[in-house]
């Protein structure tokens, strides 16, 4: 199959390209940067972003619905905290704040949960979703259904060797800034139907394993 991948040199895109190639597909990648465009097989274009919609998932799924109405077969992969030892979704921002402030924090009891999946598992899910080719389908890229924020903060604190503290909702805003809303969200998610429909079986590593081996972002 001939496959066109946008953001082919990005975090997830760079995992998608070898996943598809190793499965026997032909891949053409697109990138928005000059550096990425210089890589073999890449095509450059300007980035598109809908600044009027604050919810990226709603924005992208709405765009998908528009082209689906025109007869395009659209499937959606809903991402959790996609991670390796360098990047971890929103958790990378929590790590940045922890480094800047010298403490790793959570709000209240830190019982709110975030789902997670390793980037290589996510790349395999994208391939399976494309090969299955079921129009209108939605798949949750979730290996771990919900990790308590308190434990995430503790893992960050252990890795960075800094204190771990609980913040009141009143103090959270000054600490987390724009991340405050997300830091307080309870977002557990299941991939049961995804696994049943695609035969997807995440194999890890798990989030906490990657946090134990944190590497600086390039």
Split into its structural domains, the chain has a count of 2
CATH of the domain at 119: 3.40.50.720
Asked if residue 183 lies in contact with residue 128, where contact means CB atoms within 8 angstroms, the answer is no
Nearest to 104 by CA among 185, 147, 158: 158
Domain span at 163: 78-218
The answer to whether residue 124 is domain-embedded is yes
The answer to whether residue 67 is domain-embedded is no
The answer to whether residue 60 is domain-embedded is no
pLDDT tens per residue across span 48-85: 334 444 455 677 778 888 888 888 888 999 999 999 99
Say how many C-beta atoms besides its own lie within 10 A of residue 110's C-beta: 20
Same domain, 113 and 38: no
Given this model, what pLDDT does residue 67 score? 81
Same domain, 214 and 140: yes
Given this model, what pLDDT does residue 40 score? 44
The answer to whether residue 7 is domain-embedded is yes
Question: Which portions of the chain are predicted below pLDDT 50?
Answer: 37, 39-54
Given this model, what pLDDT does residue 33 score? 60
Same domain, 90 and 43: no
User: The whole model's pTM is what?
Assistant: 0.85
């Amino acid at each position: 199959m001939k496959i066109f991948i946008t953001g082919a040199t990005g975090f997830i895109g760079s995992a998608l390209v070898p996943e598809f190639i190793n499965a026997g597909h032909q891949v053409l990648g697109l990138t928005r940067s000059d550096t990425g465009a210089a890589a073999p097989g890449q095509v450059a274009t300007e980035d598109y972003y809908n600044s009027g919609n604050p919810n990226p998932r709603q924005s992208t799924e709405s765009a998908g619905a528009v082209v689906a109405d025109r007869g395009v077969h659209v499937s959606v992969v809903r991402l959790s905290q996609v991670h390796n030892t360098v990047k971890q979704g929103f958790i990378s921002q929590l790590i940045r704040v922890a480094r800047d402030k010298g403490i790793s924090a959570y709000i209240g009891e830190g019982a709110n949960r975030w789902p997670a999946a390793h980037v290589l598992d996510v790349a395999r899910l994208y391939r399976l979703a494309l090969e299955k080719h079921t129009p209108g389908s939605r798949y949750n890229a979730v290996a771990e259904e919900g990790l308590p924020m308190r434990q995430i903060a503790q893992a960050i604190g252990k890795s960075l060797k800094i204190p771990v503290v609980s913040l009141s909702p009143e103090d959270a805003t000054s600490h987390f800034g724009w991340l405050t809303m997300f830091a307080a969200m309870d977002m557990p998610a299941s991939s049961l139907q995804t696994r049943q429909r695609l035969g997807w079986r995440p194999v890890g590593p798990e989030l906490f394993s990657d946090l134990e081996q944190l590497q600086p972002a390039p």
